[in-house]
Amino acid sequence: DAGITQSPRHKVTETGTPVTLRCHQTENHRYMYWYRQDPGHGLRLIHYSYGVKDTDKGEVSDGYSVSRSKTEDFLLTLESATSSQTSVYFCAFRDRGTNEQYFGPGTRLTVT
């Protein structure tokens, strides 16, 4: 168990509605990441954080925002969901000691 959870695990929402996905880690890691996984694209970085209130954009950040008010929580928000944001979303933290990322179980989001 890598000590990282995501909620909800599944969500269906309508186009235009706001959606927030939560990532929670229990090991006090500074670096956290949000990815989306789509067929033919692998894992693409949406946003990442290198500390409380310190975040930066990844390669597919349009339409997404993040917040990190506590070390253990990293929130991903879709301000107005679109069908192109239907995907599986993974959160991860980076262990700076080993330079490895550990992933949560994923959230399957469907935007209808």
Partner 1 sequence: DQQVKQNSPSLSVQEGRISILNCDYTNSMFDYFLWYKKYPAEGPTFLISISSIKDKNEDGRFTVFLNKSAKHLSLHIVPSQPGDSAVYFCAASLLIGNQFYFGTGTSLTVIP
Task: Tell me if 24 contacts partner 1 by CB under 8 A.
Answer: no
Task: Tell me if 29 contacts partner 1 by CB under 8 A.
Answer: no
Task: Give yes or no for a contact between 35 and 43, defined as CB atoms under 8 angstroms apart.
Answer: yes
- For partner 1, give the closer residue by CB, 13 or 102: 102
H or E element at residue 11: strand 10-13
Task: Tell me if 50 contacts partner 1 by CB under 8 A.
Answer: yes
Point out which span in 11-19, 39-47, 62-70, 73-81 binds partner 1 (CB under 8 A): 39-47
- Which residues, other chains included, contact 41 with Cβ-Cβ below 8 Å and sequence gap of 6+? none
Task: Tell me if 78 contacts partner 1 by CB under 8 A.
Answer: no
List, in sequence order, the alpha helices (H) in the chain: none
Task: Tell me if 97 contacts partner 1 by CB under 8 A.
Answer: no
Give 83's DSSP letter: G
Size of residue set near partner 1 by CB under 8 A: 24
Q: Distance between CA 93 and CA 50 in Å, rounded?
A: 10
Binding site for partner 1 (CB under 8 A): 31, 33, 35, 40-45, 48, 50, 56, 58, 90, 92, 94, 99-106
